[in-house]
Amino acid sequence: MIGAVKRRLNSAAFADERAGEMVASRSFWADAGRRFLRNRMAVFSVGMLSVLILFAIVGNLFSRWSFEEIDWNVLGRIKEDGGPSLENGHWFGVDELGRDLYARVVQGTRTSLLVGFIAGPVSVLLGATLGALAGYYGGRFDRTVLGAYTIWLAIPYIIFFVVWQAFFGRSMSQMILVIILVNWTAGLLLVRGQVMMLKNREFVDAARMLGMSDFAIIFRHLAPNVLWVVVIYTSLVIPEVIMMESLVSFLGVGIQEPNTSLGALLSEGASTMTFGTLWQLGFPAAVFVLAQVSLFYIGDGLRDALDPKER
Amino acid sequence: MLAVQNAHVEFRVAQTKKWPWSPAGVVHAVNGVSFDLEPGQTIGIVGESGCGKSTLIRSVAGLTPLASGTVTLDGERVQYDNRASMQRLRATMQMIFQDPIASLNPRMTIREIVTEPLSFFRPEMHIDKRKAAALAMLERVGIPPAQANRFPHEFSGGQCQRIGIARSLVAEPKVLLCDEPVSALDVSVQAQVVNLLKELQREMGLALVFVAHDLGVVRHISDEVLVMYMGAQMERAPAADLVRAPKHPYAQALLSAVPIPDPTVRIAPQMLEGDLPSPMELPPGCLFASRCPHAMTKCANAKPPMLHRDGHEAACFLLEDTPEELDASLEHH
């Protein structure tokens, strides 16, 4: 047995196999992936987030009620009969208007996650592109972008929301659009700084010596080197955007009824908590916290995996 | 092959503006340098840090705009604002850089790095042939092709410089600009890289422009040496002659400071008194006058002409007293 192992370890075939393995180097991203997978909490959070996403997509299949249907049987006696129950199919109970809370939480999760996963990455893409161009070209364009950024920081975004939605209505697409507009600065300074540092590296000069255009240099040579910043920043912006959406919904300028979001559900639950219908606050809050905590742990794992050290 | 005539480079410095509408200060980085180069020849450019050596070759390569002066390559004047002319320039002239690690994109494998120039300069070549050519070039500079899938951070500084050389030579240019290619390397590795450059020069008939602040390295590789000070040409001479008997006072001071690798020999570097002039307000006369031990009154008022003596070409009034000698090798200047 041991002899066989020894013979195998000393064989030329084994040496070749090992050597081949060593020579095929892992890329930065493959390395980062391995480091991310070693982070238990981050991997667990990915699982948790997947469950939430599944819940938002197929949760309706397990619901006996639609999210806008009023259950007249419990409407007058919500405190006594409206709680979570397996008999009448209201798994999470009903809200104060007698609508099925489970169906509404599914709908609200879908809204919040959609807003987060569309508005977050798109606004980072916008901010990062502007930041990359400002950092690369510098000069007057850079000064203009930075000036606009500084002015933008001085505008309170809630007022922007209220005014925008008064003009354009309170649909989901308007919500996503207005969040992208409010967040156009996401990642701008970070990417601008990275690009300003990288553009002076000599590999950019080497690319110029090939006759490569500015556009190709930015997207072929600089973008892969700032992608890690963008990925980390996106993972931070998504929960932030969900929080922002919840905040404006909580304040009552979010999605139009009967559609709802986690923030609007929290707002309704909080307004009725003194009547003893705590489930109306508890279920949306639990889903919201789960989503936020898992997103933050994923962001944390990504930050560790994509450490800024030169690799 | 390559001829540079009276090159000037200027930078505008916005930070010197008192008010947003006042004119920006102008730094005169290169002030009239000329040289020419034949295939297989090497010209070394030396001078202290900040004297404009790198700026000069960067402007020749088109990475920094030339304020005035002409560059002629293969008998054709290079038009830096013309894309086709620039692309011909880049196919003929490539560059290697000072920081070997920063000159390689850390997210690309070295195979990708060395293959990239071929997709610009040999677009008609089949992709498999390009890869094979890149591997052959890597092997030629001493990087095992088996390591071609690795990333730059897995190599040492000397290996990275070899990869940089492979990238610049894979499309077979005729002129190679070397911007202090060995100053970031250990001494033993410096010798290997310089010898590799010499071998490749012999095989490919390359013309080398070798910028360095280390006279020892330059003496080893160059046929001719150009000494720069404050962006201007002080002296130009065959390498051996310059080292043996420099004519210009600045070249003499520079050479007196070259260390000798023998602990028993004490060198006596000639210390220069005085301050460097500001590159934003150049003096009307000789740029070296403020620090020159032999400075005369006329040095401060008039620019010394380029004088030819014993195969040297130096900008100094001191040489006016020695008789001009008609040197066949310098007749074409």
Categorize the per-residue pLDDT at B329 as very low, low, confident or very high, splitting at 50, 70 and 90.
very low
Q: What domains, with CATH codes, occur in chain B?
A: 37-62+83-230 (3.40.50.300), 245-259+268-333 (no CATH)
Please, which residues 207-266 of chain B have a Cβ atom closer than 8 Å to chain A? none
Q: Does B164 touch chain A (CB under 8 A)?
A: yes
Residue A33 lies in a domain: no
Banded pLDDT at B87 (limits 50, 70, 90): very high
For residues A303-308, give the mean pLDDT: 78
Residues 113-132 of B with CB under 8 A from A: 116-117, 120-121
What is the reported pLDDT for B328? 45
> Which of A24, A202, A210 is opposite residue B120, by nearest beta carbon?
A210
Task: Summarize pLDDT for A247-286 with one digit per residue, the tens.
Answer: 888 887 878 777 888 888 888 888 888 887 888 888 889 9
Indicate the helix (H) or strand (E) that contains B70.
Answer: strand B68-73
Q: Which residues of A touch B154 (CB under 8 A)?
A: 25
Specify whether A23 is located in the same domain as A53: no
Whether residues A11 and A158 share a domain: the answer is no
* Residues A145, A89 share a domain: yes
pLDDT of A2 higher than 80: no
Do residues A68 and A198 share a domain?
A: yes
**What pLDDT is attached to residue A1?**
58
Looking at per-residue pLDDT, the higher value among B318 and A69 belongs to B318
Put simply, the answer to whether B87 touches A203 (Cβ < 8 Å) is: no
Q: Is B156 on the interface with A (CB under 8 A)?
A: no
Q: Is B286 on the interface with A (CB under 8 A)?
A: no
CA distance A40 to chain B (A): 27
- Kindly state the average pLDDT of the residues B283-295: 89
**Structural domains in chain A (count):** 2
Whether residue B307 is predicted with pLDDT greater than 80 in this model: the reply is: yes
Q: Give the mean pLDDT of A217-234.
A: 91
Query: In this complex, how many residue pairs, one in chain A and one in chain B, have their CB atoms less than 8 Å apart?
Result: 73
Is residue A311 one of the residues assigned to a domain?
no
Closest chain A residue to the Cα of B181, Cα to Cα: A202
pLDDT greater than 50 at residue B331: no
Rounded Cα distance, B60 and B177, in Å: 9
Mean pLDDT, rounded, for B117-136: 92
Best-predicted range by mean pLDDT among A268-282, B43-57, B309-323?
B43-57
Half-sphere exposure (Cβ direction) of A69: Cα atoms closer than 13 Å: 11
CATH code (residue A67) = 1.10.3720.10
Digit-coded pLDDT (tens) for B225-242: 999 999 999 999 999 889
Q: What is the pLDDT of residue A6?
A: 72
Count of beta carbons in the 10 Å neighbourhood of residue A22: 11
Cross-chain residue pair A201–B103, CB shorter than 8 Å: yes
Interface of A with B (CB under 8 A): 19, 23-25, 27-28, 201-203, 205-212, 221, 224-225, 310-311
Mean pLDDT, rounded, of chain B: 89
Residues A191 and A158 in one domain: yes
| Pairwise CB contact (< 8 Å): A211 & B109 | no
Given CB atoms, is B177 within the 8 Å cutoff of chain A? no
Q: Are residues A15 and A105 in the same domain?
A: no
| Dist. CA A3–CA A8, nearest whole Å | 9
Please name the residue of chain B whose CA is at the shortest distance from the CA of residue A198.
B102
Same domain, A62 and A200: yes
Q: Which helix (H) or strand (E) holds B190?
A: helix B187-204
A252: left (phi over 0), alpha (psi -120 to 50) or beta: left
Q: With respect to residue A211, please indicate whether it lies within any of the assigned structural domains.
A: yes
- Residue A34 inside a domain? The answer is no
Looking at CA atoms only, how far is residue A23 from chain B in angstroms?
A: 6
A3 and A135 housed in the same domain: no
Which residues lie closer than 8 Å to B295 by C-beta, 6 or more apart?
B286, B289
Query: Who contacts B135 (Cβ-Cβ below 8 Å, separation ≥6)?
Result: B111, B145, B148
The pLDDT assigned to A132 comes to 95
Number of separate helices (H) and strands (E) present in chain A: 15, 0
- Ranges A56-70, A89-103, A128-142, B306-320, most confident: A128-142
Q: Do A27 and B151 make contact, defined as CB atoms within 8 angstroms?
A: yes
Average pLDDT score over residue span A37-64: 90
Please give the helix or strand (H or E) that residue B253 lies within, else none.
helix B249-256
What mean pLDDT is predicted for residues B169-197? 92
Q: Could you tell me the end-to-end alpha-carbon distance of chain B, in angstroms, rounded to an integer?
A: 15
Count of Cβ atoms closer than 10 Å to residue A76 Cβ:
10
Same domain, A140 and A43: yes
The reply to whether A263 falls in a domain is: yes
Do A215 and A97 have their domain in common? yes
- Which chain A residues have a beta carbon less than 8 Å from that of B173? none
Q: Residue A180: inside a domain, yes or no? A: yes
Model confidence at B333, in pLDDT bands (50, 70, 90)?
very low
Residue from A260, A263, A258 nearest A247 by CA: A263
pTM for the model: 0.83
Q: Does B11 touch chain A (CB under 8 A)?
A: no
Query: Would A166 be classed as within a structural domain?
Result: yes
Does residue A186 fall inside a structural domain? yes
Q: What pLDDT does residue A47 have?
A: 94
Is the minimum CB–CB distance between B103 and chain A shorter than 8 Å? yes
Token duo for residue B333: 């200047």
Average pLDDT over residues A115-144: 94
Q: Does B151 touch chain A (CB under 8 A)?
A: yes
Q: Tell me the residue range of the domain where A132 lies.
A: 39-305
Over range B197-221, report the average pLDDT: 91
Q: How many helices (H) and strands (E) does chain B have?
A: 10, 12
Cα Rg of chain A, angstroms: 26
DSSP codes joined into one string, A241-304: HHHHHHHHHHTT-SSPTTS--HHHHHHHHHHHGGGT-THHHHHHHHHHHHHHHHHHHHHHHHHH
pLDDT band at B330 (very low <50, low <70, confident <90, very high): very low
**What is the share, in percent, of chain B residues with pLDDT greater than 70?**
97
CB contact under 8 A, A25 and B153: no
**A23 or B108, higher pLDDT:** B108
Q: Is residue B171 scored above 50 in pLDDT?
A: yes
Nearest C-alpha of chain B: how many angstroms from A138?
A: 12
- E strands, B100-163, in order: none
For residue B302, CA distances in Å to B284, B315, B318 come to 6, 11, 13
Q: Cα–Cα distances in Å, from B31 out to A41, B59, B269, B274? A: 62, 12, 27, 21
Say whether pLDDT at B299 is over 60.
yes
pLDDT for the residue B24: 85
A110-126 pLDDT tens trace: 999 999 999 999 999 99
**Residues A191 and A214 reside in one and the same domain:** yes
* Same domain membership, residue A163 and residue A17: no
Residue among B80, B107, B151 with most chain A CBs within 10 A, to mutate: B107
Question: For residue B272, which amino acid is it?
Answer: L
**0.90 surpassed by complex ipTM:** no
CB B197 within 8 A of CB B221: yes
Q: Do A201 and B102 touch (CB under 8 A)?
A: yes
- Reported as a pLDDT band with limits 50, 70 and 90, residue B323 is low
Structure-token pair, residue B306: 């380029």
